[in-house]
Structures are given as structure tokens and as C-alpha cells.
Amino acid sequence: MKAGTTPLDLMNARMEAAHIRPDLQESLRQCVAIHTSPAPGLLIGAFMADFALELLGADPAKQKIFSVCETPKCAPDALQVIARSTTGNGRLKIIPIGKFAITVNAAADGPTAEAVRVFIDMKKLRNFPVIESWYANSPSYDKKTMDESLQQQIFRAGRDILSYEWVRVNIFGRSKWKPVTCSVCGEPVPDYLAEGDRCGACGSMKYCEKI
């Protein structure tokens, strides 16, 4: 890296070299800003979200988009920026299956909706050996020496490592609930999150001790 050249400068140059359209370049920069680094999974997730929206013919600036992410790593941040689906607005669900895949649908009136599932295609990945090595967590991938070529290959690949399928999903969103009081801590929680007479923090999701 030349003196005065930042990682963002390099990323911008690589996006230009890969002929990524300007609006997607800006979305990628926004993803990096919220994620705080140009992580490979974030960049791929951005291409996935952009592809899914195009397939749906949906515009998140004009309609509500609902998303399911099959991994908690990196891709959720791309969906929050590009699809405007967030955990806070109730339109992003993260299911830690362990697959690098997303499912996206527009708002619907009924109990189900047609959606598109976008995923990394292992057969297509063979054409991009550096990405394949990184994705497989292979010992052959050396982060110190291969990060630069990995980012270049991700931008060059774009959607070429992705496939999609049309699926039907159950509509999720805000449902009616009533508060119940935990018998241990005395704090209220929604009834659908209670574990018997306890809240999750006093049950299976306990993560801290009072001091």
C-alpha cells in the first residue's frame, strides 16, 4: 500500500476495476461503514441482497422488505443497509443455520408470501479459487498474503458465485402479546418469550451474574 492510501481507497479502486455500478459501490461503502470493515462475507452479502431485490423487482425505498438470514455473520449488516430490513424494525430474522444464504420478500397481505432465496453456489465457486479457499476455511487460505486477492476476486465475481430459488415463506412481524412476570427476577416479558414461569435471562438464555 502506498503512503497515504487507505483501505477504502483500495476498495474504491478495486470496485472501479471490476466495473461495479456506481449505486452499488455506494451501498458497499455504506455496508463497510456500519460493519466497520470490508469483511469478505459483508461484501458477498451485499451482492446477495442487491441480487435478491432485483429478482423481486422490489424497492426498499418504496415498500417494506422482509428478510431471513441463515447466518449471523456479516450478511445481516448488508441486509440492514441494502434491504432496510433490521432486527429493530422487525423485518430481519436471523436463523443460525450456518449457511451463507438469505431469503427476501416484499410485504404481503396473506399468511404467506413468495420470496427469493439467494445462496453461494459451490459449483460456481470453483471458478474463483481464492474465494473457495476462504469460504471452505481451508488451511491453504493465508489471510496475511491472500486478503488483497480475495477482495479483488469478490468484486470480480459479483453475482457469478450466486444462485437463487423461488420459495414460499410464512409472514412474520409484530404479533399480539401480553406481558407475564418472571417468577425469579420479577421483570415482565412478552408471553411468547417466557419459559414457563421464567424469562429467558433466568432460564436457558442466562448470560450474566448480578454483582
Q: Using one digit for the tens of pLDDT, what is the confidence trace for 98-132?
A: 999 999 999 988 889 999 999 999 999 999 999 99
194 touches 182 (CB < 8 A):
yes
What's the CA gap between 205 and 86, in Å, rounded? 22
| Extended beta strands in 18-84, E state | 65-69
Q: Tell me, what's the pLDDT at 89?
A: 94
Q: Tell me, what's the pLDDT at 176?
A: 81
**Which tens digits make up the pLDDT trace of 156-171?**
999 999 999 999 998 8
In which residue ranges of the chain is CATH 3.30.1330.130 found? 7-170
What's the CA gap between 190 and 178, in Å, rounded? 6
**Which tens digits make up the pLDDT trace of 45-93?**
999 999 999 999 999 999 999 999 999 999 999 999 999 999 999 999 9
The structure's pTM equals 0.90
Q: How confident is the model at residue 173 (pLDDT cuts 50, 70, 90)?
A: low
178 touches 171 (CB < 8 A):
no
Overall fold of domain 7-170: 60s Ribosomal Protein L30; Chain: A; (3.30.1330)
Q: How many beta carbons lie within 10 A of that of residue 49, not counting itself?
A: 29
